[in-house]
Amino acid sequence: MGFRDDFVWGVATSSYQVEGAAFADGKGRSIWDDFCHTPGKVYGGHTADVGCDHYHRYPEDVALMRALGVRNCRISLSWPRILPQGTGEVNEAGLAFYDALIDTLLAAGIKPLVTLYHWDLPSALQRRGGWQNPESPAWFEAYAAVVAKRFAGRVHDYFTFNEPQCVIGLGNVDGSMAPGLMLPVRETVPMSYHIHVAHGLAVRRLRELAGDVRIGFVNCGDARLPATDTPEDIQAARESFFAMPQDPAMWPWCNGWWGDPVLLGHYPEDGLRMLGQYLPDGFEKALPLISQPLDYAVHNFYQGSRVQAGRGILPWPEGHPRTANDWPVTPDALYWGTRFLYERYHKPVFIAENGMSAHDAVSLDGAVHDPNRIDFYHRYLLALRRAAGEGIPVHGYLAWSFMDNFEWNSGYKERFGLVYVDYATQERIPKDSALWYKHVMETNGAAL
């Protein structure tokens, strides 16, 4: 048994990473515009002012997707392009861009899957405290309502938040990503609560206003792989995948903290013991809202760690394969991660991102050969197929990314795309992996 007949194969991108046109047509600034223009924050001083210029080149990008057999594309919407101040006045030109992009995708037979928040918070809202402000859930709800109404009948798949772990852990705890703050735990735990409530409000709005929709909340975080196949190691890996990290400063990376309230309607016990004191009084009353029914458990998997009973996380041996940005290559992340998510949440599992960075280059023959990426995808997809073959409902898989793009604080150094982008000319060159993945999608994985 392999992937189900209606398995969703596709690719993913995000607004800030590909669109460019950062200050065009009435778009407001986002915290990423500010971050990129603060010296020393992003590798090489790169900005995404132009990015892949997808804002202007989307017709040719969508045509290329179609030629490469893409049937599902996860995009995100730039909140400040739609609401320049974050709340209040709507920028019609911003909505018109997404009308055009979505209609072009649909006309090409490509289903758009839309993420509302892929990190580009309007700067105007950050000035009001961002996710620290107790009004932030209402801001997000109003934004979701604008989107839901506008795209009703055209968009049937939504994700509310992308990787809240990174929003808090990288944006507000270690400061390596926008808005670059280093806040203490008593200030960041309430932010997670605001994000959860914002999610619940948005789900309610989408179900009310957007017609027939499927909705997910996109988590991330390393998978845990048992060091051996003994029941003890498997149990240790399972527990570790959802547990609070030993070091309280690492709390944003706890999968249970983010997933349980949304999918089970309660916070995990170990999380409450460590962080409950920082939640606002009466937080329990919001749990029914936070846990509005969702259609799947969504996770972005790139890597995993090995766990042994009694010993915890083991280091990878010297020389273990790594991607260009130093992430270990761990294909079984897609088997164990998928399995553990299903066992806990009893929802179909949707992999909304997976892929690798390499320092790809154009060869003398004019092509971009990336056998390492093909091997990476091949191994990870075999592991996912193993999970599907054991009867775990796996809803879909989206490759990160359709094309090379602005990799946050690494700038353009890391290339994650199936399509190579020459940033000087904006030329697109499908890499070998794009042609390989086309065949995998067309055969519903039989080509693996």
Which residues, 195 to 234, sit near ligand FCB by CB under 6 A? 220
The CA-based angle 361-407-39, given to 5 degrees, is 110
Select the span of 151-159, 176-184, 241-249, 400-408 touching ligand FCB (CB under 6 A): 400-408
Determine the angle formed by the axes of helices 371-389 and 432-442, rounding to 10 degrees.
20
- Residue 141 or 163: the one with the smaller Cβ distance to ligand FCB is 163
Structural contact between residues 273 and 256, judged by C-beta atoms closer than 8 angstroms = no
DSSP bridge pairs for 108: none
Instruction: Output the six-digit token pair for 180.
Output: 């670059």
**Among the residue ranges 26-34, 137-145, 160-168, 266-274, the one whose residues contact ligand FCB (CB under 6 A):** 160-168
Q: Who contacts 316 (Cβ-Cβ below 8 Å, separation ≥6)?
A: 306, 328
Closer of 16 and 242 to ligand FCB (Cβ): 16
Please, which residue, 78 or 300, has the CB nearer to ligand FCB? Answer: 300
Query: Residue 254 Cβ, how far from ligand FCB at the closest point, in Å?
Result: 16
Q: Strand 349-353 relative to strand 297-300: parallel, antiparallel, unpaired?
A: parallel
Helix (H, G, I), strand (E, B) or coil at 437: helix
Q: Does 353 qualify as catalytic in the annotation?
A: yes
| Polymer length in residues for the chain | 448
Answer for which of 35, 350, 380, 408 binds ligand FCB (CB under 6 A) is: 408
Contact code string over 234-273 relative to ligand FCB, x by CB under 6 A: ----------------------------------------
Verify binding: residue 400, ligand FCB, rule CB under 6 A: yes
Q: CB–CB of 411/352 below 8 Å?
A: no
Residue 125 or 166: which CB sits closer to ligand FCB?
166
Q: Which residues contact 253 (CB under 8 A, 6 or more apart)?
A: 165, 169, 221, 222, 245
Binders of ligand FCB in range 292-311 (CB under 6 A): 300
Contact (Cβ atoms closer than 8 angstroms) between residue 203 and residue 294: yes
Residue closer to ligand FCB (CB basis): 360 or 407 = 407
Question: Going by C-beta distance under 8 Å and a sequence separation of 6 or more, which residues neighbour residue 346?
Answer: none
Task: Say if residues 124 and 177 touch (Cβ distance below 8 Å).
Answer: no
Distance CA 298, CA 318 (A): 32
Nearer to ligand FCB by C-beta: 66 or 413?
Answer: 413
What are the strands, taking DSSP E only, across 196-293? 214-220, 223-226
Q: Mask: binding to ligand FCB, 95-134, rule CB under 6 A, as x and -?
A: ----------------------------------------
Cβ atoms 155, 110 nearer than 8 A? no
- Note whether 243 and 259 are within 8 A (CB): no
Q: Which of 89, 141, 208, 353 is catalytic?
A: 353
Least Å from the CB of residue 13 to ligand FCB: 8
Closer residue to ligand FCB in complex, CB, 136/357: 357
Amino acid at 23: F
Is residue 416 a contact point for ligand FCB (CB under 6 A)?
A: yes
Q: Which stretch binds ligand FCB (CB under 6 A): 150-158, 162-170, 229-237, 374-382?
A: 162-170
Candidate residues 9, 11, 14, 191; the one interacting with ligand FCB per rule CB under 6 A: 14
Alpha-carbon gap, residue 301 to 327, rounded angstroms: 11
The one segment of 42-50, 158-166, 179-187, 379-387 that binds ligand FCB by CB under 6 A: 158-166
What is the residue type of 413? K
Long-range CB contact pairs, 229-232, < 8 A, 24+: 230/309, 232/309, 232/310
Nearer to ligand FCB, 35 or 278 (CB): 35
Question: Whole-number minimum distance, CB 134 to ligand FCB, in Å?
Answer: 26
Based on the shown chain and the rule CB under 6 A, indicate whether residue 407 belongs to the binding site for ligand FCB: yes
* Residue 166 in contact with ligand FCB, rule: CB under 6 A: yes
Q: Which of 89, 92, 135, 163 is catalytic?
A: 163
Smallest gap from Cβ 400 to ligand FCB, in A, equals 5
Cα gap 356→348, rounded to integer Å: 24
Query: Based on CB atoms, which residue is closest to ligand FCB, 188 or 323?
Result: 323
Smallest gap, in angstroms, from Cβ of residue 206 to ligand FCB? 20
Residue with tokens 């009703």: 152
Tokens of 107: 């006309």
Q: How many residues bind ligand FCB (CB under 6 A)?
A: 12
At residue 74, the 3 state secondary structure works out as: strand
d(CA 360, CA 299): 26
Q: For the segment 17-46, give every residue that binds ligand FCB (CB under 6 A).
A: 17
Least separation in angstroms between CB 373 and ligand FCB = 13
Instruction: Show contacts with ligand FCB in window 340-359 (CB under 6 A).
Output: 353
| Interaction site with ligand FCB (CB under 6 A) | 14, 17, 162-163, 166, 220, 300, 353, 400, 407-408, 416
For the annotated catalytic residues, the residue numbers are 163, 353
